[in-house]
């Protein structure tokens, strides 16, 4: 008991409120809290420098170039004088070393500075170098009298910290924060930052201890010391994140209650034998097996199913819903838009047509009478499968026995919305989240590490790869000719325009202009065109969409509202206008709208004549590969984790030091260590792991042991 208590008690100094640090006080403390989330001494220590200024060496004046940032120079003061009038008033001094002369300039505190200056004396000078009239100068340098020229440099690496304009205005610039940190580090003793990682890990990966790592990340003596410290702290950070999620997952595996689907019954078997329209791919079979195992053991399933566009996730959903029905449970399939919900409904009710099972659709536009009937049937349990939009999460929607929730195209649903769904049953239903936006492995590990994970990494056989090409606007008439030849063969085509914000007037005008342009190439009545965009009333949108789905119109001019999930196998050409304005994953999603049928399909990316480097790279990647996972990795690399859709609010990605792209290999190591640890000691109860457990307990958003679902 006593031992556990000793380990648990937080070293007091690190939890001290930041206002008590000398030089901070209540006002600055408020700002530090608001601007940088620094509440305690410990938080300040975790505000890591983003770089260091090298003060271990002295630079010769003739080596200063416009590319030099900060420099330390030693020399003799030749002379100084005040120049200019009123607001242009300044103090200018000349400093000479054995290689040249530079200027030092002050605009403020002139008389005070002037008192420190003495011609003929030697000074050590430090600051940001700028060039003025071809001469190097430092404005407001740090200045120190030297006894003799040639006396040493400052001999340390000075940390620089990120800060904000507001903090700067209160005297807390990046270097001042460094002063505070230095003060704090002087007060912190080794016992205040005890080791939390098990000794085995420290040894295996040759890590320096925790206290040393904190000291060296801020105030390294050498560049190597910094590297050592960063390695240790990054690994710790990634490891803790992995461990936290692994604990949530293993906690769910062990303690959550879940409904049991242990029977493969008549519905599943009959459908599988008689009505499956094709042979399942190996990947589909594997995923179904994984889900079956997961739903049979009496724990709640929380699983992410990833599969590239067209990989065949729908049939997996259908089979699992039949499994639920075989075990006496209802299922709910939720899609992000009405069009998608409708399409799922059409597909699924056609697949299940000859089966004795009730499927219904609930969207916001359901008529009151239908709706009432549907809700009643749902509550009484006659309805086995409900397909719908977010309308299904409303409180009036009550299930008889909900056992399974499937969410398609997950990133459009918030976590809170999902939670409302599984509150609809006393025992939480199994949850399967399906996404067609491939998530890079590293992201999946960090953002969704608490979920179990299945992947369909294989496309159904016989798919022809989509030919992707890049064309400039000047070549548009050729593109249109090609389009016409495809349409005259009976195919359909999409022409997509960017509309980033529905309110963006310019984008909207471009869309309208584009539409007129397309109409000129494809005159009615010979050609019929649908147009869909976000400003249309829902009904009109649906109507236009429907005409295209039913082959009544041959061309779909649209914004990205059709981005996700729409399935028109006869469409064989995807033209994307201003392709440079789209993100990589989005382009890939759009391209996935074609190549769904037996016909050879094409994706044509039209851009303006001038492309930035990133845009050029995006186009290059898209033209060179059709693999969604490769594309997602590249997207992550180009944009960084914060910009990937659906992960923006994910706290799991807020690393202080580590970067999930650059530090991939460390992330892998962290994942392996955490998996090994949990396997050997699932509750971290061994003496060696206890410090770690206690540390996790005291963190913000701590893992709730045994209360996980």
Q: Which residues bind ligand ADP (CB under 6 A)?
A: 278-281, 284, 307, 309-315, 436, 460, 567, 596
Choose among Mg ion, ligand ADP, none what residue 553 binds, the Cβ cut-off being 5 to 8 Å by kind. none
Nearer to Mg ion, 406 or 673 (CB): 406
Closest of 55, 153, 148, 139 to residue 93, by C-alpha: 139
Closest CB to Mg ion belongs to which residue?
A: 565
Nearer to ligand ADP, 359 or 425 (CB): 359
Choose among Mg ion, ligand ADP, none what residue 275 binds, the Cβ cut-off being 5 to 8 Å by kind. none
| Residue 479 buriedness (CB in 10 A; 0-12 / 13-18 / 19+) | buried
The DSSP bridge pattern shows strands 157-160 and 430-435 to be: unpaired
Q: Which of residues 555-614 bind Mg ion (CB under 5 A)?
A: 565
Choose among Mg ion, ligand ADP, none what residue 437 binds, the Cβ cut-off being 5 to 8 Å by kind. none
* Minimum distance of ligand ADP from residue 449's CB (angstroms): 23
DSSP string, 516-579: HHHHHHS-TTTS-EEEE-TTS-HHHHHHHHHHHHTTSSSEEEE-GGGTTT---TTEEEEEETTG
Closest CB to ligand ADP belongs to which residue?
A: 312
Choose among Mg ion, ligand ADP, none what residue 281 binds, the Cβ cut-off being 5 to 8 Å by kind. ligand ADP
Choose among ligand ADP, Mg ion, none what residue 29 binds, the Cβ cut-off being 5 to 8 Å by kind. none
Query: Is 657 in a helix, a strand, or coil?
Result: coil
> In DSSP terms, which residues pair with 434 in a beta bridge?
305, 408
Cβ contacts of 527 within 8 Å, gap of 6 or more:
487, 554, 555
* Minimum distance of ligand ADP from residue 458's CB (angstroms): 9
Choose among Mg ion, ligand ADP, none what residue 94 binds, the Cβ cut-off being 5 to 8 Å by kind. none
* Minimum distance of Mg ion from residue 321's CB (angstroms): 14
Nearer to ligand ADP, 591 or 693 (CB): 591
466 touches 573 (CB < 8 A):
no
Query: Is 622 in a helix, a strand, or coil?
Result: helix
- Residue 368: Cβ within 10 Å count: 7
d(CA 421, CA 416): 9
d(CA 565, CA 592): 8
Nearer to ligand ADP, 231 or 588 (CB): 588
x/- mask, Mg ion, residues 509-548, rule CB under 5 A, reads ----------------------------------------
Nearer to ligand ADP, 314 or 607 (CB): 314
- Residue 563: Cβ within 10 Å count: 18
Choose among Mg ion, ligand ADP, none what residue 410 binds, the Cβ cut-off being 5 to 8 Å by kind. none
Nearer to ligand ADP, 284 or 442 (CB): 284
Nearer to ligand ADP, 377 or 458 (CB): 458
Nearer to Mg ion, 306 or 572 (CB): 306
Cβ contacts of 96 within 8 Å, gap of 6 or more:
61, 75, 76, 78
d(CA 648, CA 260): 34
The DSSP bridge pattern shows strands 571-576 and 602-607 to be: parallel
Choose among Mg ion, ligand ADP, none what residue 568 binds, the Cβ cut-off being 5 to 8 Å by kind. none
Nearer to ligand ADP, 305 or 499 (CB): 305
* Minimum distance of ligand ADP from residue 566's CB (angstroms): 10
Q: Could you give phi then psi for residue 597, rounded to 5 degrees?
A: -115, -160
Choose among ligand ADP, Mg ion, none what residue 398 binds, the Cβ cut-off being 5 to 8 Å by kind. none
End-to-end CA distance of the chain: 29
Query: Is 80 in a helix, a strand, or coil?
Result: strand
Residue count of the chain, please give it: 709
* Minimum distance of ligand ADP from residue 263's CB (angstroms): 25
421 touches 353 (CB < 8 A):
no
Closest of 131, 137, 126, 134 to residue 102, by C-alpha: 137
In three-state form (DSSP H/G/I as H, E/B as E, the rest C), the secondary structure along 365-409 is CCCHHHHHHHHHHHHHCCCCEEEECHHHHCCCCCCCCEEEEEEEC
d(CA 136, CA 153): 20
* Minimum distance of ligand ADP from residue 281's CB (angstroms): 5
Q: In the 8-state DSSP scheme, what is residue 275?
A: I
State the residue for tokens 């050592």: 228
Choose among ligand ADP, Mg ion, none what residue 418 binds, the Cβ cut-off being 5 to 8 Å by kind. none
45 touches 14 (CB < 8 A):
yes
* Minimum distance of ligand ADP from residue 280's CB (angstroms): 5
Nearer to Mg ion, 247 or 406 (CB): 406
* Minimum distance of ligand ADP from residue 269's CB (angstroms): 18
Nearer to Mg ion, 75 or 565 (CB): 565
Q: Which of residues 284-303 bind Mg ion (CB under 5 A)?
A: none
* Minimum distance of ligand ADP from residue 350's CB (angstroms): 10
Choose among Mg ion, ligand ADP, none what residue 45 binds, the Cβ cut-off being 5 to 8 Å by kind. none
* Minimum distance of ligand ADP from residue 596's CB (angstroms): 6
Q: Based on C-alpha coordinates, what's the Rg of the chain?
A: 32
Residue count at the site for Mg ion (CB under 5 A)? Answer: 1
* Minimum distance of ligand ADP from residue 409's CB (angstroms): 9
* Minimum distance of Mg ion from residue 4's CB (angstroms): 50
* Minimum distance of ligand ADP from residue 244's CB (angstroms): 31
Nearer to ligand ADP, 236 or 409 (CB): 409
Count CA atoms closer than 13 A to 502's CA, side-chain side: 7
Choose among Mg ion, ligand ADP, none what residue 158 binds, the Cβ cut-off being 5 to 8 Å by kind. none
Nearer to Mg ion, 259 or 305 (CB): 305
Q: Would you put residue 514 in left (φ > 0), alpha (ψ -120 to 50) or beta?
A: alpha
Choose among Mg ion, ligand ADP, none what residue 572 binds, the Cβ cut-off being 5 to 8 Å by kind. none
Measure Cα distances from 654 to 36, 547, 584 in Å: 13, 45, 23
Residues of this chain that bind Mg ion (CB under 5 A)? 565
């Amino acid at each position: 008991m006593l031992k556990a208590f000793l380990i648990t008690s937080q070293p007091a100094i690190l939890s001290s409120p930041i206002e008590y640090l000398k030089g901070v006080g209540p006002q600055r403390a408020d700002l530090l809290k608001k601007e940088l989330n620094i509440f305690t001494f410990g938080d300040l220590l975790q505000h890591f420098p983003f770089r260091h200024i090298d003060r271990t060496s002295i630079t010769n004046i003739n080596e200063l170039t416009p590319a030099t940032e900060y420099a330390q120079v030693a020399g003799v003061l030749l002379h100084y004088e005040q120049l200019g009038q009123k607001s242009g008033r300044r103090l200018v001094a000349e400093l000479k070393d054995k290689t040249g002369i530079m200027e030092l300039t002050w605009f403020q505190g002139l008389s005070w500075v002037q008192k420190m200056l003495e011609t003929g004396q030697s000074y050590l000078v430090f600051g940001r170098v700028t060039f003025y009239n071809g001469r190097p100068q430092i404005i407001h340098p740090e200045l120190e009298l030297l006894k003799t020229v040639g006396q040493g440099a400052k001999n340390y690496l000075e940390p620089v910290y990120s800060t904000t304009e507001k903090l700067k205005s209160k005297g807390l610039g990046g270097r001042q924060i460094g002063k505070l940190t230095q003060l704090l580090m002087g007060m912190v003793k080794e016992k205040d930052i005890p080791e939390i990682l098990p000794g085995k890990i420290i040894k295996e990966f040759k890590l320096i201890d925790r206290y040393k790592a904190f000291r060296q990340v801020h105030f390294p003596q050498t560049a190597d010391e910094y590297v050592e410290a960063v390695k240790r702290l990054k690994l710790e950070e990634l490891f803790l994140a992995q461990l936290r999620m692994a604990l949530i997952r293993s906690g769910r595996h062990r303690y959550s209650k879940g409904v049991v689907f242990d029977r493969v019954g008549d519905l599943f078997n009959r459908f599988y034998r008689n009505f499956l329209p094709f042979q399942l791919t190996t990947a589909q079979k594997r995923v179904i097996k994984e889900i079956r195992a997961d739903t049979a053991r009496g724990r709640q399933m929380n699983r992410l199913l990833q599969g590239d566009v067209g990989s065949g996730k729908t049939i997996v959903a259908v089979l699992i819903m039949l499994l639920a029905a075989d075990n006496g449970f209802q299922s709910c399939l939720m899609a992000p838009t009405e069009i998608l919900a409708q399409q799922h409904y059409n597909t699924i009710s056609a697949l299940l047509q000859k089966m004795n099972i009730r499927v219904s659709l609930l969207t916001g536009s359901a008529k009151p009478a239908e709706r009432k009937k549907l809700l009643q049937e749902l509550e009484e349990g006659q309805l086995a499968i409900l397909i719908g939009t977010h309308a299904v999460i409303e409180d009036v929607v009550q299930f008889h026995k909900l056992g399974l929730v499937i969410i398609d195209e997950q990133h459009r649903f918030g976590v809170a919305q999902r939670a409302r769904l599984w509150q609809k049953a006393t025992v939480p239903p199994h949850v399967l989240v399906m996404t067609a936006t491939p998530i890079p492995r590293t992201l999946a590990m960090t953002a969704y590490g608490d979920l179990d994970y299945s992947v369909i990494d294989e496309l159904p056989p016989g798919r022809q790869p989509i030919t992707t090409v890049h064309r400039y606007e000047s070549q548009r008439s050729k593109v249109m000719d090609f389009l016409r030849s495809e349409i005259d063969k009976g195919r359909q085509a999409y022409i997509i325009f960017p509309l980033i914000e529905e309110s963006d007037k310019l984008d909207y005008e471009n869309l309208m202009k584009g539409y007129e342009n397309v109409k000129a190439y494809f005159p009615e009545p010979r050609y019929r065109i649908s147009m869909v965009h976000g400003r249309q009333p829902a009904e009109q949108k649906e109507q236009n969409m429907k005409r295209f789905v039913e082959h009544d119109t041959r061309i779909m001019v649209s914004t990205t509202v059709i981005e996700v999930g729409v399935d028109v196998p006869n469409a064989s050409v995807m033209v994307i206008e201003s392709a440079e304005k789209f993100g990589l994953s989005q382009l890939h999603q759009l391209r996935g709208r074609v190549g769904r049928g037996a016909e050879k399909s094409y994706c044509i990316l039209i851009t303006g004549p001038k492309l930035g480097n990133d845009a050029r790279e995006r186009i290059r990647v898209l033209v060179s590969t059709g693999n969604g996972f490769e594309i997602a990795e590249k997207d992550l690399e180009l944009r960084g984790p914060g910009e990937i859709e659906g992960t923006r609010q994910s706290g799991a990605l807020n690393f202080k030091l580590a970067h999930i792209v650059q530090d991939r290999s460390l992330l892998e190591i962290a994942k392996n260590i955490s998996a090994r640890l949990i396997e050997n000691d699932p509750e971290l109860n061994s003496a060696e792991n206890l410090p770690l457990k206690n540390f996790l307990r005291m963190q913000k958003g701590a893992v709730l042991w045994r209360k996980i679902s």
